[in-house]
Amino acid sequence: MSRARVGILISGRGSNMAALIEAARKEDCPYEVALIVSNVPDAAGLDYAAVNGIPQFAMSHKGLSRAEFDALVDGALRDADVEYVALAGYMRLLSPGFVAAWRGRMVNIHPSLLPFYKGLDTHRRVLDAGDARHGCTVHLVTESLDDGPILAQAEVPVLEGDDAEALARRVLIEEHKLYPRVLADLVRS
């Protein structure tokens, strides 16, 4: 079986990246992770990628325009023959040209039930609003932040006594299950 080549973009911890890499170990997984890109050269997730022997492109965006930096990332992805891009805690807005180049082949995971709670600090905002449920979303990436066609969501209940950290932990468990499944479905489709 030939597998779709995926590039994963991170900025930090990389736990969703790790979940995607782990899922790709299975023989019947329809994708392989071909490249990890980070705009933060010392992102914690890069160590995990290195231990797993996955090529990296890690470079700070500082001093470059958004379009210039994204052009370098695009070049690295193409050099690695990447076909799909998965944003996994990539905390950087993308240039319109980059989004257009990967349209329909670039996904993001966001820790809320979109279209609610785009942006940062979603768990705190859900608690402040007194919502009964929360969750995560995988969606195709468009020009707008945390927007674009929703591919799938997973829900968790907000429990009595939850603080933002506890809620984040439960949502993250769902993120790690949801993302590999949705990415696999996308590359199969």
Task: Tell me, by CB under 6 A, how many residues bind ligand GAR.
Answer: 15
Q: Which of 15, 52, 142, 153 binds ligand GAR (CB under 6 A)?
A: 15
CB nearer ligand GAR, residue 79 or residue 121: 121
Question: Is residue 12 a contact point for ligand GAR (CB under 6 A)?
Answer: yes
- Where does this chain touch ligand GAR (CB under 6 A) — which range of 14-22, 46-54, 61-69, 149-157? 14-22
| Ordered DSSP codes for 63-108 | TS-HHHHHHHHHHHHHHTT--EEEESS--SPPPHHHHHHTTTSEEE
Q: Which of 102, 110, 117, 135 binds ligand GAR (CB under 6 A)?
A: 110
Nearer to ligand GAR, 131 or 147 (CB): 147
C-beta neighbour count of 167 within 10 angstroms: 21
Amino acid at 74: D
Please check whether residue 89 is in contact with residue 10, taking contact to mean a CB–CB distance below 8 angstroms: yes
Those residues whose C-beta lies under 8 Å from the C-beta of residue 25, and which sit 6 or more positions away, are none
**Minimum distance from CB of 1 to ligand GAR (Å)?**
27
Closest CA to 116 of 134, 93, 130: 134
Q: Does the active-site annotation cover 110?
A: yes
Q: Residue 64 class from Cβ within 10 Å (0-12 exposed, 13-18 middle, 19+ buried)?
A: middle
Give the integer Cα–Cα distance in Å for 184 and 189: 9
Question: According to CB under 6 A, which one of 7, 30, 89, 148 is a site residue for ligand GAR?
Answer: 89
Stretch that binds ligand GAR, among 22-30, 53-61, 74-82, 105-113 (CB under 6 A): 105-113
Where do contacts with ligand GAR occur on this chain (CB under 6 A)?
10, 12-16, 45, 88-89, 109-111, 146, 172, 175
Residues belonging to the active site: 110
